[in-house]
Structure 1
Amino acid sequence: MACNMSPLNSNDLHRIFEKLDQNGDGLVSLEELNWLLERIGVHVHTSMDELQTLVGKTSLDLTDFKFFYETIIKENINVESKPEKEDDSLEGDLAKAFGVFDLNGDGFISCDELQNVLSRLGLWDERNGHDCRTMINVYDTNSDGLLDFEEFKNMMLITNS
């Protein structure tokens, strides 16, 4: 079964939201949102006040969280058609995201590393029967069982029409 890791589906977003909502009040604070953005390699070069202005609230419910995610995805898709200087920024963001998955820093993402990061983000459920090797094989163009940066970049830039 081929799995597309980007963009995330509604169930994935719901699980991430629940993991972030530590106190179970149905809201994700700006601090929790900022932590997630930094963790996945999307660095918002703003203060918490600027993040609040960007988001428009001090906390997000699940609907707001999904809307925020969709806005980020659309913005990143639009970056692909912008001038080269901004492409460099996208390349840098992708390199940072790659670093999140490349836990041992060897320049490749292995099945174990992928499963480890997805587990930390609340996106891996061992009971669901998915095999990370299958997920990697979808984008592994040289069939070495690992994702290098170019394969990772291709995976992240694939969009559903």
Structure 2
Amino acid sequence: MDIQQQYKRVFGYLDKNGDGKISPPELQICIRKMGQELSSEEAEMVAELMDSDGDGLLSMEDLVKVVEAANEEEKANDLKMAFKMYGDEDTITPKSLRRMLSKLGESRSVDECELMIAKFDLDGNGVLDFHEFQDMMMS
């Protein structure tokens, strides 16, 4: 079953009255099933923001956008947690990269870590900030 079929199946399940639209309370149920919480006010705000035709309800296409946005937020949070594993710094230095790789069983020299960082160091300062780390992880 491809992703579009899965979305249709979920949409059909949530669209209790079969009108082809998801109300804010139905959206709350959807988000809860994804393991996240959404208050009534937040669900109404999301429905208003993501609603493409202005009726305060979500179509299938609108729901796909909501789900994809939630998935992107989860990925970003996972990346932030991974970034913090390199230390309490706001950057990943060659030494902190070497330490983390060592914990993972990879033995690298500081010089090798400098080369690894240089590939994704967009501003050329010799360290990776979160955005550079994010680019590296997404490539």
Q: TM-score if structure 2 supplies the norm length? A: 0.49
Given the two structures, how large is their TM-score scaled by the length of structure 1?
Answer: 0.43
Larger radius of gyration: 2
